[in-house]
Amino acid sequence: MINDALVAALLLVSGAAALISSLGLLRLRDFFLRMHAPAICYTLGSWSIGLASVLYFSAGEKQLTLHVWLVVVILAVTAPITTVLLARAALFRSRQAGRAIPKPLLSAAPVPDKPLEE
C-alpha cells in the first residue's frame, strides 16, 4: 500500500514536471529560451518515472529490478546531446538568415585582450 502511494507520488511529480515544461514552452518567446524549460524538467520527469518503475516492479517480483534504469540512463545520455545539436542547428540557421542571435555567454575567467606571453 505504501509502495503504491510512493509510485503514485513519483508519477505525479513527473506529470507536474511535464506541465511546467509545457508552460515554459508557451511563455518563453525565443527558441533558445524555449529549449531550457523542457531540458530541465525532462531530467526530473525521467528520473522520477524510472524510480517509480523500479519500485513498482521490485515490489511485484519481490526482488530488486534495475533493468528499468538502463532506459533512464540511455535517455539521460542522449537528451543533452540532442539539445546541443538542436541549439547548434538553430544557431546556424539564424546566422544564415541574418537574424539577430543570442549573445554568447560570459566565461568564468576573463579573456585577455592580448595573447599571453610565454
The model's pTM is: 0.70
User: For all residues of the chain together, what is the average pLDDT?
Assistant: 82
61 CA to centre of own chain? 31
Domain ranges of the chain: 2-97
User: Which are the contacts of 68, defined by CB distance < 8 A and separation ≥ 6?
Assistant: 50, 53, 54, 57
pLDDT at 117 > cutoff 70: no
Report which DSSP code applies to 113: S
Report which DSSP code applies to 98: T
Q: What is the mean pLDDT of residues 73-93?
A: 87
Q: What is the mean pLDDT of residues 1-22?
A: 91
Q: What is the mean pLDDT of residues 45-70?
A: 86
User: Greater confidence, 77 or 14?
Assistant: 14
Nearest partner of 87 among 20, 34, 26, judged by Cα? 34
Q: What is the mean pLDDT of residues 6-23?
A: 93
